[in-house]
Chain A
Amino acid sequence: MTLEEIKTRLQTGVPGCRVEIVVNGSPSAQNSLLIDRRDGLAAARFLRDDIQLDFCSNATAVDWPDREKTDKVKTRQVVDGVEKEIEQTVKTRIPGYLEMVYHLFSITNREVGNQEPVVLRMRTGNRTDDVTLPSLTPVWRSAEFQEREAYDLFGVEFEGHPDLRRILMWEGFTDHPMRKDYVPPPDDEREISGGQ
């Protein structure tokens, strides 16, 4: 079953489900399904029960910081009475977000995914105060510790997780070390390995 077929079945099986296919341009061409977080839980249930993706082998997070995109736009303008084509650079700011990535397999039906994982993605609203995603632990139990790890190291907050605590760092630690903008504490200065 191809990703397009899974997408179509998802859209019919979960009414109103917003699904997108994120294209991977690299030679591996491992495309993935991007699901709106509001439909996350229902879509995950459908994937497990109807498409038989019964095993979640991996759950991890990606931090996408704010970035700037520069586009060159050609416009026609009248300069000194003569119409000329002028190239302008337009900068657009793309706000950052946190993204969860789940790798799904089907043990019962090998045709699904065709020996490759079906990659499921969900994105948060931003990186600061809107970082809630539905927990998929109620659907795939194997995601429990890995969602805790994403909570610990990236700061993704999971709704419906049975036991959302830090897993690697201690309680009372306030940072999220795997975020791109993480700065280690100043007392960790690198005496010999450079740095300052």
Chain B
Amino acid sequence: MDQDLKTELSKHGIFATTFEELYNWGRKNSVWPLTFGLACCAIEMIATTMARYDLARFGAEVFRPSPRQADLMIVSGTVTKKMAPQVVRLYNQMPEPKYVIAMGACAISGGPFRDGYNVLKGIDRYIPVDVHIPGCPPRPEALIHAFMALQDKISAQHLTGESRPRHLKAELPSEFPVPDFGEHGLEPAQNDEIFHNPLKVLQG
């Protein structure tokens, strides 16, 4: 429906909407994150939920202790190689639709610990990430900004048509392979279906 027409109708006391808008409006205002912290970024995440920054204003105050009840995974902190399979497993256990925020330099790329022998160089090697927040650690405002970016993303999702999101396409996976502990590192080192090595992409 035309936006101008909707505004015009609302001036006359008529509220017009679509099912899609209503549905996404409900979804984006009740995103429940998983209670899940990995390192120092988790402290900022906790601060974001408390009274001063108050993530509850955005409908995300209910941190669920079970992945079965969660919609959003905030990967807050360094993912070690020993922890990575558990992170992927938790993601797999979440019901669709599910979203991931990679919070901080470590979750994006390994951050200052990138060259460490036990540090995963970004969680996007194994699970699809919706919003990346840089920072070490990002301030609570940055997490709120990322959360609002995620809300915008949710409200822009179409329920039908070719551009509908992954969870509405039956043929696309909702679970991703859990890496195994190998003799020298994780096997495989990344999920090639979703992760594209930036250098290899540049080289073509």
Binding site for B on A (CB under 8 A): 168-175, 177, 182, 184-185, 187-193
Contacts and interface: CB of A to CB of B under 8 A. Distances in A.
B11 interface: no
Nearest to A175: B184
B198 A173 contact: no
B199 A174 contact: no
Given A187-B189, A188-B189, A191-B198, A174 B184 contact: yes
Interface string B97-135: 000000000000100001101100100000000000000
A192 to B, nearest CB: 6
A192 B198 contact: yes
B4 interface: no
19 contacts: A168-B82, A170-B181, A172-B183, A173-B182, A173-B184, A174-B184, A184-B117, A185-B184, A185-B185, A185-B189, A187-B185, A187-B190, A188-B121, A188-B185, A189-B199, A190-B115, A191-B197, A191-B198, A191-B199
Q: Contact size class for B? A: 10 to 19
What DSSP secondary structure best describes chain B's contact surface? loop
A174 B199 CA distance: 29
A172 B186 CA distance: 11
Interface of B: 82, 109, 114-115, 117-118, 121, 181-185, 188-190, 197-200
Contact of B185 (A171, A184, A192): A184
B184 A170 contact: no
Nearest to A195: B115
A177 B183 CA distance: 12
Contacts of A177: 117-118
B199 A192 contact: yes
